[in-house]
Structure 1
Amino acid sequence: MHACVACSKSKRRCSKQLPACRRCHGKGLRCEYPLVRIVAASDTSASSGNLPTDTPSSAGSLSQEHSPLSIHAQSRGTPDPPVNLWFLAPSSWDILREHSTLSVVIAYPDSGLRYFIDRLRAWVSQWTLGQHSNFIHSHLYGSDMPECLQHAYAAFQAYQYSTSSNKHIALQIVRSYTKLVIQDQTLCEGFNGGAYDIRSHLSRTQALLIFQLIRLFDGDIRSRAEAESTTATLIQWANSLMEKAKADLESGTRRRMDQLHPFPTTSDLHCDGTTASLWRAWIFSESIRRTWIIAGLMEAAFSILKQGHSPCPGSICFTGTKGLWDAASPQAWMARVQDAKQMRFRLSCADVVNLLDDSKPSDVDEFSRALLVYGQGLEKCPEWCSTD
Structure 2
Amino acid sequence: MGTGDTAVELSPFDLEALCIASATEDQLFGFDLPDAITSPNSLINITGSSTDAGDQVTSHRAYSSAKSSTFSSAEIPPLARSRIGYAITQLKLAPRMMVENNSTLWCHAMLYDEHMPRSLQDAHASCALYNARNDINTDFVARHIANRIDELISAPLPTEAIEIMARAHALMLYQVMLFFGSDVRCFSQAEVLVCRLVEVGNLLLDISAQQTDPINALLLYPSAAVRAAWKSFLFRETLRRTVLSLFQFVAFCHLLRGQSGPCTDGLSQGNRVTLSAHLWSASNAFGFAVAWNERPHFLVHNLDFTDVLKDAQPDDIDNFGKTMLVSLQGIDDVKGWFYMKSGTF
Question: Match for residue 283 of structure 1?
Answer: 234
Question: What are the Cα deviations for residues 271-323 of structure 1, in whole angstroms up to 9, with x where unaligned?
Answer: x9812111111111111111111111112123235428654443321111121
SS in 1 for 2:282: coil
Question: Match for residue 290 of structure 2?
Answer: 335
Match of 1:140 among 99, 108, 111: 111
Match of 1:319 among 271, 274, 279: 274
Q: Please say if residues 300 and 311 of structure 1, whose CA atoms lie closer than 8 Å, have aligned partners that are also in contact.
A: no
Q: Please say if residues 279 and 330 of structure 1, whose CA atoms lie closer than 8 Å, have aligned partners that are also in contact.
A: yes
| Structure 2 residue 13 is matched with structure 1 residue 105 | no
When Rg is computed on C-alpha atoms for both structures, the one with the higher figure is: 1
| Structure 2 residue 327 is matched with structure 1 residue 374 | yes
Alpha-carbon distance, 1:346 to partner: 0.6
Counterpart CA distance in 1 for 2:329 and 2:259 is 15
Q: Please say if residues 4 and 307 of structure 2, whose CA atoms lie closer than 8 Å, have aligned partners that are also in contact.
A: no
Match of 1:350 among 300, 303, 307: 303
Q: Please say if residues 353 and 376 of structure 1, whose CA atoms lie closer than 8 Å, have aligned partners that are also in contact.
A: no
Q: Percent of aligned pairs with the same residue?
A: 21
| Structure 2 residue 187 is matched with structure 1 residue 224 | yes
Alpha-carbon distance, 1:113 to partner: 1.9
Question: Match for residue 364 of structure 1?
Answer: 317
Alpha-carbon distance, 1:357 to partner: 5.0
Question: What are the Cα deviations for residues 118-166 of structure 1, in whole angstroms up to 9, with x where unaligned?
Answer: 2133244222113664332222111422211111111111112212443
Structure with the larger helix share: 2
SS in 1 for 2:241: helix
Alpha-carbon distance, 1:330 to partner: 1.5
Q: Please say if residues 366 and 387 of structure 1, whose CA atoms lie closer than 8 Å, have aligned partners that are also in contact.
A: no
Alignment of 1:158-307 (within 5 A): 158-186=129-157, 190=158, 196-246=159-209, 274-307=225-258
Question: What are the Cα deviations for residues 196-251 of structure 1, in whole angstroms up to 9, with x where unaligned?
Answer: 311111111111111111112333333122211221211120220231354588xx
Counterpart CA distance in 2 for 1:205 and 1:233 is 9
Match of 1:152 among 104, 123, 133: 123
Q: How many residues align?
A: 264
Change (3 A) 1:111 1:349: farther
Change (3 A) 1:133 1:213: closer
Counterpart CA distance in 2 for 1:324 and 1:222 is 41
Give the structure-2-normalised TM-score.
0.66
The structure, 1 or 2, with the larger RCO (C-alpha pairs under 8 Å, 6+ apart) is 2
Change (3 A) 1:374 1:173: farther
Counterpart CA distance in 1 for 2:302 and 2:137 is 39
Change (3 A) 1:304 1:358: farther
Q: Which runs of 5+ in 1 are unaligned?
A: 6-17, 26-97, 191-195, 250-271
Q: Please say if residues 149 and 204 of structure 1, whose CA atoms lie closer than 8 Å, have aligned partners that are also in contact.
A: yes
Q: Which runs of 5+ in 2 are unaligned?
A: 19-30, 32-79, 213-222
Counterpart CA distance in 2 for 1:120 and 1:353 is 25
Counterpart CA distance in 1 for 2:172 and 2:163 is 14
Measured on the aligned residues, the alpha-carbon RMSD in Å equals 3.2
